[in-house]
Structure formats: structure tokens, C-alpha cells
Amino acid sequence: MESTKSSTSVRASLWIKKPLALLMRESSGDGNELKRTLKAGNLVALGIGAIIGAGLFVRTAAAAADHAGPSVTISFIVAALGCALAGLCYAEFASMIPIAGSAYTYSYATMGEFMAWIIGWDLVLEYALGAATVSIAWSEYLNKLLEKFGLDIPYQFCHSPFQTSLDGVTGIINLPALFILLALSLLLIKGIQESASVNSIIVVVKVAIVLLFIALGWSYINPINHTPYIPENITGKFGDFGWSGIISGAGVVFFAFIGFDAVSTAAQESVNPKRDMPIGILVSLAICTVLYILFSHVLTGVANYKEFGTVGKEASVAYAIETYMSSYSWLSVLITVAILAGFSSVILVMLLGQSRVFFTMSKDGLVPKVFSELHPKFRTPYKSNLLFFVFVGAFAAFVPGDVVGDMTSIGTLFAFVLVCIGILILRRTNPEAVRPFRTPLVPVVPILGALICLAMIYGLGAENWIRLLVWMIIGLVIYFAYSRKHSKLRNS
């Protein structure tokens, strides 16, 4: 009788945890396995591929125009600090638990199934909506490139129905965004190694272009554009420039760092995850942070930040080059092509991360089996890739980029907070576990990481808090209606 009561209590508990030993057994498990083909260099390239993209080439200008002005460089430093602290926590988890699923898997082991579901549902905001945001930016830059050759896509077929041009034309559907999502979804179905090889080539190209813009643009910096470096907050509203603007700007440009944690979703496809996962996460983050600070300093020095809110709002980098660096007009074409390639690699990694998170959730029974069904030849979750193409495509085609971009940022920041808290919990509940990489200065690092991420969430404003809340309510309905009943851990 006592055993039956105990069993009932466990099944009823929202906080049932997945033992580390069970997680490790599953990673070498039941024949439904992903192929281990990625090495440390692939993982670093995967991280850079995900990080450098729309955040740098689009969100930098948006944060400067609306929140921080030239001090967007400080916003990048704040965002980088939060990411670095969370990254150290991610690295410990990824080396301990080399399973696909990222923060979802870590939460299942440390905080229980209910929190694991919340974080898994939250990661849809990071990966799926992140891919949608970047595909919208891809569409903008494609139009900019076509204009150079006397071509263009009609406004109504490359913008959301919620957007209207200066000439009064209202958008209908964003077809270029749908096109790039479909092409990359098909590439992911073909295989992770092929996707990683394409990504590595793109990474080399876009890092070279970023360095070229920094080198050539440095001599075009106009000191007047950096004066004052921290514009005064005239309205008194939080986030309208001043130091509060720097915090809000950090929440916006935080999108530029999304991706380093996507490395952890490929843990089950890494040849030596215990060694290579920390390298992939931390090295890619360090490289991109340096590039971001230099890039944003040059961009806001070449053009005045106020222009990025009006005439230079779309394809801001190309605008700055064409307007103020006319002797390098060839660079505008080259950088636009490189940006398109760079955006493609970001979308690729975001879609990869999303399908791998749901692959793991599906194997746990929390989402339908279709998300973990592998292609008989390519051994990739092909049905999941196709389903997420439809889901992501709906946002990319019909929702403006700034809306999905902020939703992505707040969702990811929330995930980072939970990962930082997870390290504190696991150090207390499972202190003897083997940790190939240990987060230094615990509890200081995870506590600071959580606090900085919470500050950036605060800076994103009430509108985004409400969106996050609505998204979480939808997730809770799904959990109690389906996931809790089908959980394999509860029913084993």
C-alpha cells in the first residue's frame, strides 16, 4: 500500500526529475540516434554561424536609433557579459549532459518536468521565432541587392500585412522569407554534416566581410556622430536614451548573441562533446563579442544614429556604405551578398536547434512522436523540419520583424535565467556528478548571470512581458492537456 501511494505521489508531482544516469543511457540508446560527426572546429563555426547575423546587421542600428545612440557599444558589452556568465553555465551542463535538447534537457535533470516543459516551450521563441526574424531581415537585404541591378520585389510581396510603405502600400506576404526558410529546411533534412560544411564556408565569408567593413570604415568615422556618446534622456521614459537606454539597447542587441547556446543543441552529434562543447560555446562567444563592439563603433561613427530610425532603417549597413563611403560602393554589393549568406547560416542553425530540442522532447513523450521520427536514409528528424518550416514560415510571412525579434530576445533571456539557476540547483543536489568543465566562482557567476539577464528582460518593456506571458499560458494548456499524460518518465 505504501509503495502504491509513493508511486501515485511521483506521478502526480510536477517536479519529477529525469536522472542523469538515464539521460546518459539514452544518449547511446535505442537505435533512434543522431549521427556523431561534429568536431570542435565545426562547433565553433556553428556558434559563429548562429551568432553573426541579423543581430549585428539589423538590430545594432535599431538599438542605436531607438535606445542607446552611439553608446550601443556599451549595450553590447552589457549583453556580452550576461551571455558570458550564462555561457559558462551552459558549458558545464553541455559537458556533463551531452544530449540534444540544450536548456530543456538541463532543466529536466535539475528542476523537474514542469520547468523542463516551460523551458522547452520557451525555446520555441528563441529558435523558431529567431529563424523567422532573420528570414525577414534576409528578405530586406535581398531587395537591397536587387535594387542595385535595377530590379525589385513589389512591397506587398516582401512585407507583412501589418506594414505600410512611405508611399502608402500595404504588405500582403513576405515571399522571399518563405523561400529561404524552405531551402534551408530541405538542406537540414539532407544531413547535419552537409549543413555544417555549408555553414563553415559561410562563416569564413561573413567574418571576412565584417573585418573588411571595420578596417575600411574606421577612416570614415565622423567624431560628431559620437557626440554625445550617451544621448540625454529627454522624455524621462525608461529606455529613451541615457543609461536606461543602454539597458534597453542591451535587451535589443542581445538578439545578436543568440546562437552560442545553439551549439549545445548539437551535443548528441558531437564526436567528443565533453571536451568540444565548452570550446564551441565559449570560443564562438568571445570572437563575436570583439567583432560586435568594433562593428557597432564604426557603424554609428560613419552614419548618425538618428538616420537608422528613418531613411537607413532597412539594410542599415548597406545604407551607411552607399551614403558615406561612396568610394567603396563595390563594398556595398559585396557586403550585401555576404550578409545574405550570413543570415542563411543563422537561419540554418536556428532551425537545427529547434528541431533538436523538439526531437528530445518527443522522445520524452512531451510532444508527439512525429517530432522524433528520423529519415530512413539521412537520419535527420525530417518531419519535424517540415512542420517547423510551416510554423516559422507563418511568422516570417505575416508578422513584422521587430515584433518577432523582441519576442525572441525575451524568450532566450528567460531560458538563460533558468540555466543559471539550474547550475546552483545541480551543484547542491548532485555535487558528486562528473563535470569535465566546471563553471568558475559558483554561486557568484550564475547569480550575476541571472540578474543581468533579468535586467535586460526588464529593459524590453511591458509589451514584451505580456507577449511572453501569453505564450507561456498557451504552453501550459498544451502541457496539462497532452504532455503530462504522455510523459514517458511518468508512465515508465
Encode pLDDT of 201-258 as tens digits: 777 887 888 888 899 999 999 999 999 999 998 888 888 899 999 998 998 888 778 7
- Omega of the bond leading into 273 within 30 degrees of 0 (cis): no
The verdict on residue 30 lying in a domain is no
pLDDT at site 2: 44
Q: How far apart are CA 371 and CA 386, in angstroms?
A: 10
Q: Is 86 within a domain? A: yes
171-202 pLDDT, tens per residue?
Answer: 999 999 999 999 999 988 886 555 566 767 77
Euclidean distance between CA atoms 342 and 344, whole angstroms? 5
Cell (9 digits) for 210 = 565584417
Q: Number of helices and strands (H, E) in the chain?
A: 20, 0
pLDDT, tens digit (0-9, with 9 covering 90-100), for 450-462: 999 998 888 888 8
CATH value at residue 126: 1.20.1740.10
pLDDT in tens, 40-84: 777 787 778 767 766 777 788 889 999 999 999 999 999 889 888
In-domain check, residue 140: yes
| pLDDT recorded at residue 11 | 47
Within a domain: residue 446? yes
Structure confidence at residue 3 (pLDDT) = 45
Would you say residue 91 lies in a domain? yes
Phi/psi at 164 (5° precision): -130, 135
> What span, in angstroms and rounded, lies between the C-alpha atoms of 104 and 268?
14
Domain presence at residue 473: yes
Say if residues 278 and 43 touch (Cβ distance below 8 Å): no
Residue whose C-alpha cell is 541571472: 450
If one counts the domains in the chain, the total is 1
Q: Does the residue 118 lie in any domain?
A: yes
Task: Note down the domain range covering 246.
Answer: 42-486
The answer to whether residue 425 scores a pLDDT higher than 60 is yes
What percentage of the chain exceeds 90 in pLDDT?
28
Domain assignment present for residue 410? The answer is: yes
Q: At what angle do helices 113-147 and 103-110 cross, to 10 degrees?
A: 170
Reduced to 3 states, what is the DSSP secondary structure of residue 145?
helix
Measure Cα distances from 305 to 213, 230, 296, 309, 333 in Å.
17, 11, 11, 8, 22
Q: pTM higher than 0.85 for the full model? A: no
How buried is residue 150: exposed, middle or buried, by Cβ count under 10 Å (0-12/13-18/19+)? exposed
CA angle (133, 193, 254) in 5-degree steps: 30
